[in-house]
Structure 1
Amino acid sequence: MYQAFFHALEDSADGENLALSHVIEKLSFNESGLIPVITQDAKSKEILMLAWMNKASLEMTITTKRMTYWSRSRQQLWVKGETSGHTQALVSMAFDCDGDTVLCQVDQLGAACHTGRKNCFYLNVGLESQQVFIEGEASKI
């Protein structure tokens, strides 16, 4: 059902508009009611993190313009930066062609990663050396 909706949009004209509430209803949340969210720095385009949203956190993010995720470990809404002060202000949001991933561009204040690093992708694979290199200093948050 969901894929058929997004498949039907493939031939839509540039600039065509759809009601946001209708598209949200057609998003492909997984069996736990979650959808992955890629968070990207709006200025540098650096990928900062991947997290999860449920419908409530998605709608809260849209309403408040503050990134709100679903914490799978705590089983509760998680407003980014609420305790650390390292906030993410929503600049733009997009859905992928299958309606199963969200891309949010943000203004990041402070570190995005809970380790205090700029982003969560600091474990870099050396394809030739077959080693993983840690890049970026962790700071105490």
Structure 2
Amino acid sequence: MTDTPTQPVTLNAHKLVEAVRFDPRGLVACIAQQHDTGEVLMMAWMNREAVEETLATGRVCYYSRSRQGLWRKGETSGQIQKLVELRLDCDGDTLLALVEQHGVACHTGRRNCFFRAMRDGELAVIAEPLMDPEALYGSHHGHSHG
């Protein structure tokens, strides 16, 4: 079966990196999806270094536009994403990271970042936090996806 995820392969990882069409800022969008349930967790940006580190370590690393640096998912919160497989879309400008999410993906303490939806003509919150954001990041949390 061709879409069965496998463990990250660091050998020949440069082949994927070279196929990515980074934008003029050197970034590419990456969608994180829970590998076994298909739940879409979040979207964040990666630069070349973040893609390379993700492939080399098996732990997802993003690029924070606000901090202008690598953002190792879960480094401060403990809510890491273990890489199962990294996929590249048809035109090379979006990555899909199939991951094993430990804990919550969103900095608001929710399982995923997509917790607002149009319901009855209003933008409604459809999921409550599973964890207190203060417990994730401490009192000076100022976290953003960059």
How many angstroms apart in 1 are the aligned matches of 2:101 and 2:16?
27
**CA RMSD, Structure 1 to Structure 2 (Å):** 1.3
After TM superposition, the runs of 4+ consecutive aligned structure 1 residues lying more than 3 A away are none
1:103 and 2:102 matched: no
1:134 and 2:125 matched: yes
Q: Percent of pairs identical after alignment? A: 44
- Describe the superposition over 1:13-67 as per-residue Cα deviations: whole angstroms up to 9, x where unpaired: x8xxxx5423422311111100000000011110000000000000000000000
**Structure 1 residue aligned with 2:30:** 37
**Structure 1 residue aligned with 2:106:** 113
TM-score, normalised relative to structure 2? 0.79
Aligned residues: 122
**Structure with bigger gyration radius:** 1
How many angstroms apart in 1 are the aligned matches of 2:63 and 2:34?
20
Where 1:86 maps in the other structure, the secondary structure is coil
**Unaligned stretches of 5+ residues in structure 1:** 1-13
**Unaligned stretches of 5+ residues in structure 2:** 3-11, 137-146
1:89 and 2:112 matched: no
Specify which structure has the higher proportion of helix.
Answer: 1
